[in-house]
Structure 1
Amino acid sequence: MVYESSYDSGRRPFKPDLTRGYWAAPSDFIYTCISLGFRMDVVWMGLTGAIITYILCMFLFVVPIIVIQSFMGQFSSSGFISTFRMSPIFKGLGYISLFVNLAVLSYYSLFAAVPLLYLFHSLRPTLPWSCEGIEKWFPNSTEAEVKHSCKMLDVVDIKAGMMSNTHIRYEVPSVLFFQSVFDVSYEYKSPFLFSWELLVCTLLSWAIVAGVFYRFYNTELMSKFLRYTIWTSLILLLICVGRFMLLPNDWSYIFSYFMAKPVDIVRGIPSTVLIIVSAFGPGWGSIIALASFNRFRANIMHYSWIICLGQMGIFLAYAIITQIIQGYFKSLTTQYAHVEGLYVEVNDHYAPYLTSGSVIATMSWPNLWSIIFYAMLTLTALITMITCLFSIYQSIFDEFEMLRSRKTEVTLGLIGVLAFLSLYTCSNHGALFFSAMSMDSLFTQTALNLLLLLVVLWVYGRVRFQRDIEFMLGQRFATWKVNMLRFVAPICLCLLLLVAILASFVRHSNSSIVILIAAVFLIVLPWLYLPGYMIYVFLQTTGSFKMRFQRCSRPMDWYPVEMEERQRYEEAMGNMEITHQLNQITDEVVP
């Protein structure tokens, strides 16, 4: 049998939303998935490692997992919750992914609010983070003068009062500017304070998102909106890369990223591998939901490679900007290199997000380039938020039929809740400690990808997966590719899982209690839903113990939604006698 109806198992059958629509153009799926590479919560922590690591991981597990997620969404024409009717006992994974997406969005507005804050201040005649403007807005609050890169001491002055093994650290003015909006130093034990400027920018970001969903309310309109905004952001990103490359650079420092030494490659593997996870978006399941808007015969194999190459281009663009920024501050310390016993560094953390401002201030027409750069960062963050929310909404409406008639209320209501939760990031603690939840989401995302391989290739089965994807694509799907997915990709994900656990532990060791509690409720506790939902589905299914287990594991209502493709699917599998009446629901059916 090709599929079994949930109605036959005593459960409410899946009812597809036939009004959900398709992409306005097939390429819109590619553009939207490429834009998932704009994810900034990993770029914020810096780009290290080497491009060879990214390319290797792309072949081993990134492209294969994108293929599987695209297959699930496109074949079933449903989001990341309903698509798990492929194996109903694992449907709890869809609800876990829903919590993960909401958890990420609860802090992700920070990546739109911060550049928006810098964008507004770029309209001043003198940039506040330039050497000319820094003394006006950052007075020293302590007796010890703050050392920053605009006032680096001469070698002669340092030698005059130098002791053995002297370590001098200079701050970056654009980072000091961000600290100044809280009126405290940016330290782990600083008092808890809100920034009204950041609060206004956060609320404005969510207002823009709400306006977009209110105006572009259906799939075709949203498709066109995302297409043009993504193209705009990509053009702005290329312009910024070109302008940064015109700065006087030590090109050997930039090339070291592309032609790294073996020891640098090994050292950079953990951070590079974590960044690679950004290919799947800020939460989990976005690719599944986005692929559900494809036509049934869309060639996801070609799309997946184009998406990965496009995301690699974005990754390289951010990496080039980061290398130039780090090279710029490194060049400021070269005059001290020959002094024995002296170590001088510029604390260029949070490149390219915060430290970029001081580099832009050295350019000609700094206000113009500051506006362009921070407008690009704001736009990319808003696109990521909108794309993630778009996949969440469609997954919710696919799963819960009763909400389809109240789309506007659900859409704006959820945005309001997320806007309220994100207010914590307007504090100095929220802006500093959010990275702990970011590491938690990377761990959960990796675990979900690992379980996805289990569901599709082992529970649903290699043969059925290979059969379905060949039917959908109309071309052969080689067995060696399936074996790569079954054996090689899980090993890579297990190693990545260990890195994510270690990174999460380190981040939480320096985090606040509020972030820890939020992570428990939004990241840890949802995992209890997986065994709970398994037990619930098992108990609500009719039959003996063995029959219940088999019915819970077998695909239910798993078929192409389009009637023509569904008939072809049944005919190809030799099951034309299947005549499930999916619309016969009685009061005895379990909801």
Structure 2
Amino acid sequence: MIYESSYDSGRLPYKPDLARGYWSKSSDFIFTGISLAFRLDVFSMAWIVFTYAGCVSVILYIGALFLFVVPLFVMQSFLGQFSSSGFISAFRIAPLFKGIGYISLAVNLGVLTYYSVFAAVPLLYLIHSLRPTLPWSCEGIKHWSYNFTENEVRHLCHILSNDTLPPKKTYFWSVVHQIPSNLFLNSRFNHMKLFEPQSEGFYISWEVLLCTLLTWSLIAAIFYKCNSLEKLSTVLRYSIFTAIILLLIAVIRFALVPQNPWLSLFDFFLPSWDRQLESFASVGIFVISAFGAGWGTIISLASFNKFKTKITQNSWIVCFGQMLVFFCFGYIVYVTDIFYDEIREAYNSKEPDAWVYISKFWVLFLSTGSVMAEMSWSNLWCILYYAMLFLTALITISISLLSTLQSIFDEFEGYRTRKTEVSLIVIGLLGICSLYTCSNKGVFLHVIFSNDTVVTQTALNLLLFFVVLWVYGRVRFQRDLEFMLSQSFSTCKIYVLRFVSPLCLIALLLAAIFISVLYHYLGTTVVQIAALLFIVLPWLYVPGYMTYIMLQTTGTFKTRFKRCCRPMDWYPVELEDRQRYEQTMRNTDMTHQLHELEEETMT
């Protein structure tokens, strides 16, 4: 017997969903993989810990690709493509660790409860960009900033109008100036201390609430109309292509903001030594986001590939495409920082004893608004830019939902006949849970949850290395991979996967834990409870499921443990591939047996 059936362990065998479908085009996996770089919450993870250092070092990023990003991408793609199942059922490769799949399910649902804020906020700004005068321009801010003026809030327009200096004093003084596009979001909540988690009071933005409901309504419409993978993959392909085109337009326009565009590009790709030291943290954040929101998305996306798809080549194409996307967004943030630094330095030079500070946060989503307000045809650029951000958020939510829902359908056979109903119910529940992010307490939720999910993702990736390369075994992994790809896979790469990549992930995990603990000191009680429910408690699934599956197996403890670690129903889904796999593995086993007999005869 080449593989063990679940019948031998007293459980029902896995029944593959032969109607789940494949990508309508082979390039759809590449497009959706590149779109995982649209996980833009990474640009808000570290706005307290450090300031962005422009472009991360290209050498550092490419080094990370070789050491663990591409190897991990290949491993997850192998699990999904070989088994043709999502991130829960793929752990048939070692059933004892199937609880990892349930952890992933909880993490993905937790991420989706807050990620809609990255669509609602750009949608809010997109709608207000249709006004004849931008509300966050110096002319438009006069109509809604009177509450802030009474509280003596200084903003960028005071600097631009030379109204920045208080009465002369005999000692050094400093003034903090806000950015109008940042203040505009505060005004929607009517709350000045929006991004201060310990602020008093509970405020709801009805405009953000409506935008959130509209976002989930669009998501529900997409999954209702595109009830097959072929339709959904076509919509995703054109949406991703449109988002990339809009991103390139935004990069070109922002490149013209500095007084010397060529110098800014040079500094971006070849920063000074101090900025290169700061870029180490940026490298870690960017490479984490290469695997998308939540965990297991790559496994589910690869499960829609044909069995013979060359995942190694595709993984490199996807990772380099993601790198270009990260650089584009990073350059927009870099130019935005330059824009405000030039204004600050110019006005600080007017008064030697004064120091003006411009408060920037959530730069990619908020602070860029005031930069575009100073451009010619500012309304047009705001419409295109916020449409791009809104579209990227819709794509990220849709892909994460596709991964999560397909994993549910693969694992629970009874839901396959009611895919549309189950999908709409899940979307509705996620929409209800996400309404908390429409309050001043919940809008900060994504900052803490993003860091928590980074910790969970890294820990799950470490467990995946252990399960595939140590429990399942490097020999069987290499054998299956070579059979699927019909090409050799060097043992040197296997050793990189077994030793080098886990060491890199351990270092990344320690850094992520440090940042996560730092953020939790800032969180409210509700945020701490939510993090406990979605991040900490799911880890009980691993030992809990181990205990459950071993109790269902007969024999001694050692026998039960070995049987639960062996792959069950682990074979290609398509009948032709399955027959070839059984024949190949049987011949391999026979060769080993003959080799052993020859050795015995010689002795």
Bin for the TM-score computed over the shorter chain: over 0.9
Shift of 1:577: 11
Q: Provide the residue aligned with 2:256 in structure 1.
A: 246
- 2:345 is aligned with 1:334: yes
Range that drifts further, 172-181 or 161-170 = 161-170
Q: Provide the residue aligned with 2:600 in structure 1.
A: none
Where structure 2 has 5 or more consecutive residues not aligned to the other structure, the ranges are 591-603
Q: Provide the residue aligned with 2:574 in structure 1.
A: 562
The equivalences for 1:144-163 within 5 A come to 144-152=151-159, 158=165, 161-163=168-170
Equivalent of 1:277, from 270, 281, 288? 288
Equivalent of 1:421, from 433, 437, 445? 433
Letter in 2 for 1:219: L
Shift of 1:157: 6.8
Shift of 1:538: 0.7
Contact 2:258 2:338 (C-alpha < 8 Å) held by counterparts = no
Q: Provide the residue aligned with 1:14 in structure 2.
A: 14
Q: Provide the residue aligned with 1:581 in structure 2.
A: none
Does the C-alpha gap of structure 1 residues 202 and 144 become closer, same or farther in structure 2, counting only changes over 3 Å?
closer
Give distance in 1, aligned partners of 2:275 and 2:121.
31
Q: Provide the residue aligned with 1:584 in structure 2.
A: none
- 2:48 is aligned with 1:38: no
TM-score normalised to the size of structure 2? 0.93
Contact 2:258 2:335 (C-alpha < 8 Å) held by counterparts = no
Q: Provide the residue aligned with 2:123 in structure 1.
A: 116
Give distance in 2, aligned partners of 1:280 and 1:162.
54
Shift of 1:138: 1.7
Letter in 1 for 2:477: F
Q: Provide the residue aligned with 1:473 in structure 2.
A: 485
- 2:227 is aligned with 1:220: no
Give distance in 1, aligned partners of 2:503 and 2:445.
31
Contact 1:446 1:497 (C-alpha < 8 Å) held by counterparts = yes
Range that drifts further, 503-512 or 140-149 = 140-149
Does the C-alpha gap of structure 1 residues 156 and 517 become closer, same or farther in structure 2, counting only changes over 3 Å?
closer
Contact 1:254 1:323 (C-alpha < 8 Å) held by counterparts = no
Does the C-alpha gap of structure 1 residues 163 and 206 become closer, same or farther in structure 2, counting only changes over 3 Å?
farther
Letter in 1 for 2:255: M
SS of the aligned residue for 1:317 comes to helix
Q: Provide the residue aligned with 1:234 in structure 2.
A: 244
Q: Provide the residue aligned with 1:51 in structure 2.
A: 57
Range that drifts further, 166-175 or 329-338 = 329-338
SS of the aligned residue for 1:543 comes to coil
Range that drifts further, 299-308 or 240-249 = 240-249
Give distance in 2, aligned partners of 1:451 and 1:384.
25
Q: Provide the residue aligned with 1:491 in structure 2.
A: 503
- 2:520 is aligned with 1:502: no
Does the C-alpha gap of structure 1 residues 246 and 142 become closer, same or farther in structure 2, counting only changes over 3 Å?
closer
Does the C-alpha gap of structure 1 residues 152 and 537 become closer, same or farther in structure 2, counting only changes over 3 Å?
same
Give distance in 1, aligned partners of 2:53 and 2:519.
18
Give distance in 1, aligned partners of 2:328 and 2:577.
41
Contact 1:249 1:328 (C-alpha < 8 Å) held by counterparts = no
Give distance in 1, aligned partners of 2:497 and 2:190.
51
Give distance in 1, aligned partners of 2:344 and 2:114.
35
Shift of 1:537: 0.7
Does the C-alpha gap of structure 1 residues 270 and 406 become closer, same or farther in structure 2, counting only changes over 3 Å?
same
Percent pairwise identity: 54
Q: Deviations over 1:186-233 (max 9, x none)?
A: 233142111100000000000000000000011111111111111011
Give distance in 1, aligned partners of 2:259 and 2:446.
33
Q: Provide the residue aligned with 2:599 in structure 1.
A: none
The equivalences for 1:531-570 within 5 A come to 531-570=543-582
Give distance in 2, aligned partners of 1:169 and 1:439.
28
Q: Provide the residue aligned with 2:219 in structure 1.
A: 209
TM-score normalised to the size of structure 1? 0.95
Give distance in 2, aligned partners of 1:176 and 1:140.
11
Range that drifts further, 267-276 or 171-180 = 267-276
Aligned residues: 578
Q: Provide the residue aligned with 2:266 in structure 1.
A: 255
Letter in 1 for 2:4: E
Shift of 1:245: 1.1
Give distance in 2, aligned partners of 1:100 and 1:367.
38
Give distance in 2, aligned partners of 1:340 and 1:126.
36
Equivalent of 2:446, from 411, 415, 434? 434
Q: Deviations over 1:90-128 (max 9, x none)?
A: 000000000000000000000000000001111111000
The equivalences for 1:443-458 within 5 A come to 443-458=455-470
Letter in 2 for 1:80: F
